[in-house]
Structure 1
Amino acid sequence: MEILGNVPPDHGRAAPRARMAYEGVWRFTAPSLDSSVPRARHAVRDLLARQGVPAYGDLVPSLLLIVSELVTNAVRHAALLSPEIAVEVSIGPDWVRVAVEDNHPYRPKALEADQGQTGGRGLLLVQAITAEAGGAYDVAHTASGGKAVWAALPFTPPAAAAPAQVTNPHRAR
């Protein structure tokens, strides 16, 4: 799957490094059916476990929720033009990226759903999870004219903000 767009940065590593055993790219396809949502989620979970990905507390559940939302969107909104979807998992030295590709050219946008609606919040959820983890999210056109919606999460959570320096106003200067 050729994806045109940004990928997680390598943070300017100058010296070549040894490849970690868990690094690589895996791709699988599934029919654009509701039953593909849990299948994709389980396949990604099993891959991460098999590869021994160094994941912190919420990384795997967050990533699996993202996979569920992205595959659900592809199944619900692109099935007419894309009877099959592809899921690609890329694992780098310090991040994991999932992409869901379909043949529909429409680039989805996160919708502000009102309180009464039961759907329409999937991409908002993906964006929020990705931002909270310090990751990246985007939609990219593919060489075949479709799109790939992807999210990348770092293995380590974003650094906690340094505590504010509190000065004693009564201290002599």
Structure 2
Amino acid sequence: MSQAPRALPHRHVLTLPAAPKAVRVARETAEQALVEWGIGLRHRVVDPALLILSELVTNSVRHAAHVSPEVTVIYAAARDCFAFAVHDRHPHQPHLRAAPAEPGGLATVMELVLGLGGTAVVRADADGEGKSIWITLPL
């Protein structure tokens, strides 16, 4: 029997214009949230998490901005995990497991996530016109 998902006690939502500076703001906000939540920036997961976050926000800005003028980042954490999602309103849902083997992008995201023992999931919006890519990393 599977357990029901648990709510993470720490949560922050950030919505930004889908523009290049969104990447920097999303990273800085993640750093601030992690410090506020008692997760040190020297934790082994933080640098890879920030790289993953940067790749996902960059992808939204590059590939979805023409139909999704905003990108939303949801940050959440508990004592034992850090999770975040990047949401845009572009209908394309990437297949994370079949990410191309070229350097950067989703291939890098998946390599980092799996190397850290984490998970990556694409969740479609109810209307099918957008999606969130959720990353969960153990601490």
TM bucket, shorter chain: 0.7 to 0.9
Aligned equivalent of 1:68: 54
Q: Is the 8 A contact 2:35 2:41 kept in 1?
A: no
Q: Is the 8 A contact 1:111 1:121 kept in 2?
A: no
User: Structure 2: any 5+ residue segments left out of the alignment?
Assistant: none
Residues 1:141 and 2:130 aligned together:
no
Larger strand fraction of residues: 2
User: Structure 1: any 5+ residue segments left out of the alignment?
Assistant: 1-7, 11-18, 114-119, 156-173
Aligned length: 132
Residues 131-152 of structure 1 show CA distances to partners (whole Å, capped at 9, x for unaligned) of 1111101111022530001211
Q: Is the 8 A contact 1:29 1:86 kept in 2?
A: yes
RMSD: 2.3
Aligned equivalent of 2:136: 152
Following TM superposition, by how much is the alpha carbon of 1:53 offset from its aligned partner in structure 2, in angstroms? 2.2
Identity %, equivalent residues: 36
Match of 2:35 among 34, 49, 52: 49
Aligned equivalent of 1:98: 84
Larger helix fraction of residues: 2
Matched letter for residue 89 of structure 1: Y
Q: Is the 8 A contact 1:29 1:87 kept in 2?
A: yes
What does 1:12-27 align with in structure 2 at a 5 Å threshold?
23-27=9-13
Following TM superposition, by how much is the alpha carbon of 1:108 offset from its aligned partner in structure 2, in angstroms? 2.1
Q: Is the 8 A contact 2:84 2:135 kept in 1?
A: yes
Aligned equivalent of 1:87: 73
Q: Whole-Å Cα distance in 2 between the matches of residues 128 and 9 of structure 1?
A: 24
Aligned equivalent of 2:24: 38
Normalization by structure 2: what TM-score?
0.85
Computing the radius of gyration from Cα coordinates, the structure with the larger value is 1
